[in-house]
Amino acid sequence: MMKRNSKKKPNARSQTWLTGSIWETMKKHLKIFKDLILSNGDQTTVFLIASKEHTIHPGSCILLYENGFDEASCFTPPSEQACPVIEQISGHSVVLKVSPACPATEELRLLYKMKEEKDWKSQSVLQSHDTVTLTDLSPDTEYEMKYAAVGKLNYTVHSDVIHLRVIDKKLIDAKESVLETLSLIENKCSELMNHNSAVTFSAILRKIQDMMKYCQTYKQDLHNRIKSMIQSIQACEKDISALTDLLQAHEESPFNKSDLTEWLTVKEKELKEVDVILQQLRDSGAEVNNNLDSFLLDTSIKNLVCYTFSSLDLPDDLLSDQENFLNPQMMKRNSEKKPNAGSQTWLTGSIRETMKKHLKIFTELILSNGDQTTVFLVTSKEHTIHPGSCILLYENGSDEASCFTPPSEPACPVIEQISGHSVVLKVSPACPGTEELRLLYKMKEEKDWKSQSVLQSHDTVTLTDLSPDTEYEMKYAAMGKLKYTIHSDVIHLRVIDKKLIDAKDSVLETLSLIENKCSELMENNSAVTFSAIHRKIQDMMKYCQTYKQDLHNRIKSMIQSIQACEKDISALTDLLQAHEESPFNKSDLTEWLTVKEKELKEVDVILQQLRDSGAEVNNNLDSFLLDTSIKNLVCYTFSSLDLPDDLLSDQEHFLNPQMMKRNSEKKPNAGSQTWLTGSIRETMKKHLKIFKELILSNGDQTTVFLIASKEHTIHPGSCILLYENGSDEASCFTPPSEPACPVIEQISGHSVVLKVSPACPATEELRLLYKMKEEKDWKSQSVLQSHDTVTLTDLSPDTEYEMKYAAMGKLNYTVHSDVIRVTTHTTNIREESTRSKIFNKGVNIFSILTGKTANSHKHIISTLQYRIEDMREVGTVDESDIILVFCPVVSRAGTDIDQALDIFNHNTGSKLAVLVVLHHTFDKEKMVPDSSRCVNRTDILTVDCLFYEDTGLLKCQKNSDAVDKVVNWLRQQGRQTGVKIRLHQNFTNPGQNGDQERERLAKVNKRQQMANNEPSTRKVKVFSILAGKIKNCHKEFFDILRNRIENLEEARTVDKSDIILVFCSIVSRAGTDIDAALKNYVYPTDKLAVLVVLHHTFDPEKTVPDSRRCVNRTDILTVDCLFCEDTGLLKCQKNSDAYDKTVYWLIQQGAKIGITISPCQNKSSSFTDVFSSFLPLRGRWE
């Protein structure tokens, strides 16, 4: 270039390729290149820096030799993408709208992560799609998202990050529910506006329209606010709590679902109630008309009666709250919201009842109205004094309304007095709304009511035309304005018969008399002395008072119920009958008082005698027991005063509220129950006699005699308690048993040998007392208890002596035997006795004991010796003619008797054998089984006796019968075996002197002479009386007697008979049936009477009680027999004994009154023997 500056460019020196835009391009390429290096992880890609002119890309470019090609291409990165746009969010997924890819983009991806995470998740986007859906998003979580375009060499360009939050579906559903509820409320209001009541009354329609309008306005405003809030939350501009707060604010607004639903429910209920009443008013003939003035101006209308709904126009709290809430001037929207505004209603329960009441009155007024000038309307007018409804009355053409007030329902008339055919009723006074009062009444069966006017100034009305025992219905009527009448409830009334009222009064009067009588008895000497008696009488008085009060209240209530026809008149009859069956019936109470008076008199008599004898009544026994100067303390003790009283027990149970069945355990004859039986009375008299004798015979100042009361079941009635030698322990004082009379064994000139009975356990010393007949003072000779004979040697010959045996017990108490008389002779009685024994061999007995008999065997043996001549005890079986085995029952009767029979099996041989079974008891009337049932042998006689360990053999009828039976059996069996049994020829009944015996024998001889003078063919006539169904037992019994007595025949009437047989079958209780048999018939005293008590059974060995206990008359013989309705009288030992006893008694008693009763010839010898032995044997025990 020669001419270098020929083409010189201007500003050539300042010219540069590094312009501003090139500079930016180079910086951009530098950033892209560095990003490629950093993001490259492939070792096969190499990054170099080179220089090469490239006019298309001034400044710099990035050349890419791709996949080993030699040709380079300029690397163009993808364009930066627009941010993804949220199209839809639903639950856990979101749909995003994305921009399309540029030419340099090889792949599109959507990157997202939770805000707190570092690593992005990626989801590929197809270049052909413009949306992408993410489904694994968590609700209520903020996410970051961006859009990525990937070019060559994985060069990636990201969009800006957007923030997104998924709202929980429940919150979205809550939003939808709120808006849906408001729409439903609008629809429901639209329906209610077509309701009959809403159409009829504008006040109801207006309220429903307001509700619909307010809900529409609120719903539109709420929808806009929720939409805006959700967009802000999804874009994470606001927290999700903002939407929650908005929904919560809705719940606190007066448009919440609860208030709106309640409001609609209340309004529907109000509409239904108004509809029902409105329909009934229309049906009754009332007219709905809001133009009241047209009726008031009508002169043809005299009275205008309006059923007025008075609460339809009342303000509605919820609507007021909604109006205030929607008012833009109210900044604090919910500041004055009223609680429970939605459920507020004027239709309360009381208002509903008032409306029903007014409806009833209004319809009754329409029905009862007969005046064409009275018109009935239905209206609506607010009236706060009468909420709900009222009846407005425009009376007599007046423009001023008054509330119609019906008369108050009068109270039922109250029965004040009922007497025969009239009744006085107390009536309530008239209320202000009453213009007239009437009493209506009729018989229950009648239809038409009778009427009687009642003056308002009077409070009673009297009906005088009522029939007794007739049920009446009565009611009270009050008449008000428009002749509206109110009736009281109907009462029922019955007049009770005067006889039943008198019976009731008699029952209560009896109980009052019993109380008064008890009060008197408590002042009795014995009741004051003994607390046990006083307590029983006091209990009776207390129980009667309690029962009377209860019965009075129940009768009063019952009479009121019967008079009010609530119960039938039979209820009072049943109550009085229940009283008669209770332990407070007149019979039981009267019997109880009679028994107690009798007991008190008996105790009084004994108490007075005890005091008169010097005994002291003192209940403080300890003071005497602690007194060392007192050696012996003797107490006459009443031992049965504390015994339980059956009637008082029944009464206590009856009054016990826990006893539901009041009379379930009532004891029969409880009123007549008494501890003071005949035997106990005799025991008390016996103890009284002993106690007085102890006082009289006592000469020791250290012995004190007291009177006390202490329960002692072993000794009923009384006992004598002895505290001996300063002891605190008491023992029952038992006197010695009365000893048997001494038996003469040998008499000589100056001496007599006497056999004496053994001592009983209570005997401490035995003595034989004797004196000449003319002397007064008794001589005494001691007898050793181990000896059974005593010899008197200082007697004068040919002299009559009186002798008796004495047993001395504790405190020197002495009991004597009966007196016997002995005459001494100068001749040698011993020689005569010896000669007699040579020609008349005596009777030898041997006794065997199987247990402890308390000397009862000695008593029985001495009694037999007293009756049978020449009877003596021997020491061996071989020497004896008779064996007596005494068997006390210890374990069981059968077992003990079997052991006793084993003795007979080895020892009896041809000897007479008697088994005496001893039963231990203190009760003389105890019933024991017949032990002969346990003995199968017919050659052994078995008898039962009663004994007690303290006193030995008891003095009772059973023991007397047993000895009689032994003597009779020995005489009969002795003739068959050759053993001659003879009674003492000079035997006299104890207690009778010689003159009395001679007089008795003279009377017997006289009767025998009279009988001998009568024709031998004279018949003895028998008349039978039947008390109960006994089949033909009376005929069987008579036939048996006729087979044994030859001059016996039947009589047709009582008057023509000599003997009366009364047959009494036991149906209920023995005592009751026997009493009935004896009370229903009058038996002449000049005739022999036999009571045959028949016990129904099929068991011939049945044990029955001795019926003699139930018969107090001594002129009647009582026997027990067994029978069966199919077979008649049973063949058994009891019936056989009854036949024998009847025959013996008839023979004995017939001889006394001059009736000759002749035994049949084939049995005359045995009956004569029996009769000859019967009389003397009875005296020993009686």
CATH 3.40.50 intervals, the chain: 840-987, 1018-1181
510-551 pLDDT tens trace: 989 989 989 988 888 888 888 888 998 999 999 999 999 999
With cut-offs at 50, 70 and 90, classify the pLDDT of residue 770: very high
Quick check: 783 and 707 in contact, CB under 8 A? no
Of 143, 175, 167, nearest in space to 90 by CA: 167
Mean pLDDT is lowest, of 33-47, 650-664, 766-780, 1044-1058, for 650-664
Please state the pTM of the whole predicted model.
Answer: 0.43
603-622 pLDDT tens trace: 888 888 888 888 888 777 77
Instruction: Please identify which residue in the block is written with the tokens 């009959």.
Output: 196
Report d(CA 415, CA 423) in Å as an integer.
Answer: 7
**HEC letters along 277-305:** HHHHHHHHCCEECCCHHHHHCCCCCCEEE
Q: What sign does the dihedral 636-642-644-647 (CA atoms) show?
A: positive
Secondary structure (DSSP) of 341-386: -TT--S--HHHHHHHHHHHHHHHHHHHH---TTEEEEEEE---TTS
Of 926, 957, 936, nearest in space to 1103 by CA: 926
Mean pLDDT is lowest, of 300-304, 661-665, 668-672, for 661-665
pLDDT of 1179 over the 80 cut: no
The backbone torsions φ and ψ at residue 256, rounded to the nearest 5 degrees and listed phi first, read: -65, 155
Report d(CA 441, CA 337) in Å as an integer.
Answer: 60
pLDDT of 990 over the 50 cut: no
CATH class of residue range 736-761+776-838: mainly beta
Rg (CA), the chain: 65
681-691 pLDDT tens trace: 888 888 888 88
Quick check: 674 and 603 in contact, CB under 8 A? no
pLDDT of 1081 over the 70 cut: no
Instruction: Please identify which residue in the block is written with the tokens 């919201």.
Output: 337
Q: Which residues of 515-544 are buried (b: 16+ CB within 10 A; e: fewer)?
A: bebbeebbebebbebbebbbbbbbbbbbbb
Report d(CA 869, CA 833) in Å as an integer.
Answer: 12
pLDDT of 70 over the 80 cut: yes
With cut-offs at 50, 70 and 90, classify the pLDDT of residue 665: low
The backbone torsions φ and ψ at residue 709, rounded to the nearest 5 degrees and listed phi first, read: -135, 125
Quick check: 533 and 518 in contact, CB under 8 A? no
pLDDT of 945 over the 90 cut: yes
pLDDT of 1121 over the 90 cut: yes
The backbone torsions φ and ψ at residue 690, rounded to the nearest 5 degrees and listed phi first, read: -65, -45
Q: What sign does the dihedral 243-245-248-252 (CA atoms) show?
A: negative
Secondary structure (DSSP) of 1003-1063: HHHHHHHHHHHS-TTPPEEEEEEEES--TTHHHHHHHHHHHHBTTEEE-SSSTT-SEEEEE
Structure tokens at 351: 């208002």
Query: What region does 666 belong to: left with phi over 0, alpha with psi -120 to 50, or beta?
Result: beta
* Calculated CA dihedral for residues 948, 949, 952, 958, nearest 10 degrees: 20
- Give the number of C-alpha atoms closer than 13 A to the C-alpha of residue 1171, restricted to the C-beta side: 20
218-264 pLDDT tens trace: 988 888 888 888 878 777 888 888 888 888 888 888 988 888 889 99
CATH class of residue range 414-494: mainly beta
Q: What sign does the dihedral 808-814-820-826 (CA atoms) show?
A: positive
Secondary structure (DSSP) of 163-225: EEEPPPHHHHHHHHHHHHHHHHHHHHHHHHTTSHHHHH-HHHHHHHHHHHHHHHHHHHHHHHH
- What residues contact residue 463 under an 8 Å CB cut-off, 6+ apart? 422, 423, 425, 439, 441, 452
Report d(CA 49, CA 36) in Å as an integer.
Answer: 14
With cut-offs at 50, 70 and 90, classify the pLDDT of residue 187: very high
The predicted structure's pLDDT at residue 2: 54
3-state secondary structure of 39: helix
The predicted structure's pLDDT at residue 680: 86
Instruction: Please identify which residue in the block is written with the tokens 């004798």.
Output: 693
Of 188, 455, 471, 219, nearest in space to 326 by CA: 219
Instruction: Please identify which residue in the block is written with the tokens 């346990």.
Output: 934
Angle at 61 between CA 59 and CA 62, to 5 degrees: 155
Report d(CA 1181, CA 224) in Å as an integer.
Answer: 131
pLDDT of 1013 over the 60 cut: no
pLDDT of 714 over the 90 cut: no
The predicted structure's pLDDT at residue 937: 80
β-strands 1059-1065, 1088-1096: how paired? parallel
Instruction: Please identify which residue in the block is written with the tokens 């039976």.
Output: 965
Q: Domain spanning 34-166 has what CATH number?
A: 2.60.40.10
**HEC letters along 891-948:** CCHHHHHHHHHHHHHHHCCCCEEEEEEEEECCCCCCCCCCHHHHCCCCCEEEEEEEEE
Looking at residue 983, the DSSP 8-state letter turns out to be B
Our measurement of the distance from residue 1004's CA atom to the centroid of its chain's CA atoms, rounded to an integer in Å, reads 70
422-455 pLDDT tens trace: 888 888 888 888 888 888 988 888 899 988 888 8
The predicted structure's pLDDT at residue 1172: 44
Relative orientation angle of helices 202-234 and 257-284, to the nearest 10 degrees: 160
Quick check: 1060 and 1032 in contact, CB under 8 A? no
Distances (CA, A) of 744 to 386, 777, 873, 984: 124, 22, 15, 11
Distances (CA, A) of 1077 to 944, 1021, 1022, 1025, 1027: 30, 21, 18, 9, 6
The predicted structure's pLDDT at residue 1004: 43
- Spatial strand order of the sheet with 743-747 comes to 743-747, 752-755, 789-792
By CB neighbour count within 10 A (0-12 exposed, 13-18 middle, 19+ buried), where does 242 fall? middle
Quick check: 151 and 32 in contact, CB under 8 A? no
pLDDT of 301 over the 90 cut: no
The predicted structure's pLDDT at residue 856: 87
- What residues contact residue 1098 under an 8 Å CB cut-off, 6+ apart? 1124, 1127, 1130
How long is the chain? 1182
Q: What is the mean pLDDT of residues 942-948?
A: 91
CATH 3.40.50 fits 840-987, yes or no: yes
Relative orientation angle of helices 531-563 and 570-581, to the nearest 10 degrees: 170
Q: What is the mean pLDDT of residues 1142-1166?
A: 74
With cut-offs at 50, 70 and 90, classify the pLDDT of residue 5: low
Structure tokens at 658: 């826990």
Mean pLDDT is lowest, of 667-671, 704-708, 772-776, for 667-671
Domain 1018-1181: give its CATH architecture: 3-Layer(aba) Sandwich (3.40)
The predicted structure's pLDDT at residue 93: 81
406-421 pLDDT tens trace: 888 888 888 888 776 7
Question: Longest C-alpha distance within the chain, in Å?
Answer: 233
Report d(CA 824, CA 798) in Å as an integer.
Answer: 5
Of 423, 517, 523, nearest in space to 473 by CA: 423
Neighbours of 426 (CB within 10 A): 13
Helix or strand holding residue 27 (H, E): helix 20-39
Looking at residue 1159, the DSSP 8-state letter turns out to be B
| Higher pLDDT pick, 1011 / 552 | 552
Query: What region does 419 belong to: left with phi over 0, alpha with psi -120 to 50, or beta?
Result: beta
Quick check: 790 and 752 in contact, CB under 8 A? no
CATH 2.60.40.10 intervals, the chain: 34-166, 414-494, 736-761+776-838
Helix or strand holding residue 860 (H, E): helix 856-867
Structure tokens at 461: 């009305």
- Give the number of C-alpha atoms closer than 13 A to the C-alpha of residue 842, restricted to the C-beta side: 19
Which residues on adjacent β-strands are paired with residue 755? 743, 789
Report d(CA 47, CA 527) in Å as an integer.
Answer: 143
- What residues contact residue 588 under an 8 Å CB cut-off, 6+ apart? 647, 670, 671, 672
3-state secondary structure of 423: strand
